Structure 1
Amino acid sequence: MNRFLLLIVVAALGLAGCSQETPPDHPRRVPDKKVIETSAFSHQIQLVNREGKKVGFIEIKESEDEGLDFHISAHSLTPGASLGFHIYEKGSCVRPDFESAGGPFNPLNKEHGFNNPMGHHAGDLPNLEVGADGKVDVIMNAPETSLQKGSKLNILDHDGSAFVIHEQADDYLTNPSGNSGARIVCGALSGNNEKQ
């Protein structure tokens, strides 16, 4: 009888232990899955690849914190790739190489790269992390950019600017574009991109 009672107590304790939740791991930062309010963005740019096909868009708005926020939505990129992404000084996307966009947007006269002690360019942006489906949909902030007339950080000056996706990852160090390779996607910003 005592053995039977002991077995019941042990079994009950075992069940109680199984039902208790284990303490959670430290919280990890997971991107918010917020619905993007597209009406908040004042400008929209079409992205084209070297063949001239539309592969997405970028929307731009003044940030509530600092600089500008960019919503980048693109497809038909290399699945799983990390791709360099930069703002260039001219709003021109002449195919096939997009060299018409000129050099990096660099009004503060710095060197390239977040890891460069002499950097970074105002137009340096984080690498785009492409999903297994070849798509990317993300919001980024560039604190040293503006749409304000008269500001030297204005990316919408007399000749506009361009957003360029490269074929490889930016190493965040090497001038002028972090060894990120050829320009494969481009979107030109000018006064014509204002959303109605």
Structure 2
Amino acid sequence: MQEVITRLVDVPFARMFVLAGIVFLIIAVLGKVEGKIDPGNVGRVGASVLGIVMLVIGIVMQYIEIRELGQERIAQQSRIQPQNATAAPAGGMTAKQSVAPETSSADKPAIKVVSGTYGRSCNGKAGNATQQIAKACDGKPACDYAVEPVELEEAPANCTRDFAAEWKCGSDSTVYSAILPVGAGKNEKLHLACAG
């Protein structure tokens, strides 16, 4: 019995308010429940008011919790991303590539793209953009990869996506990464470069 009570109570506080509000509204609408609970007219009005208030409080608390989780996720992504990548698109992606100014391509190792993933924040398939970014940047010492919103089949329409790339420089085994976090605008650029 204690396990059942623990499971019932072990839910977010906001959901408890919503559920309690619904219970009070049911009591207000049904009135007499199985002949055991008879709230009367004043009790029904009181249960209605209390149910609505608890429902509103629960919904507001849930909204605040979701907002805080979103802000925490963005803060975590900001800490992880390198300084040269700044933000992510809101739709799918196509590539427009512009090469960063080259000083001496013979001195710098070339980029070899390992992975490009679009929409990881929306459970996008890992490596779904590897071919596009490899086509644009492989073999170059530096590359600015512009991302444009378009629709992708695999990602939910209402989900704001991020863009991440991983690459190696020449024959070095070190894997570098850059992320455009959730919420970046159209034509934001992901900068890939190998130090020479």
Assess same fold via TM > 0.5. no
Q: Which has the higher helix share?
A: 2
Give the TM-score of the pair, scaled to structure 2: 0.31
Give the TM-score of the pair, scaled to structure 1: 0.31
Q: Which has the higher strand share?
A: 1
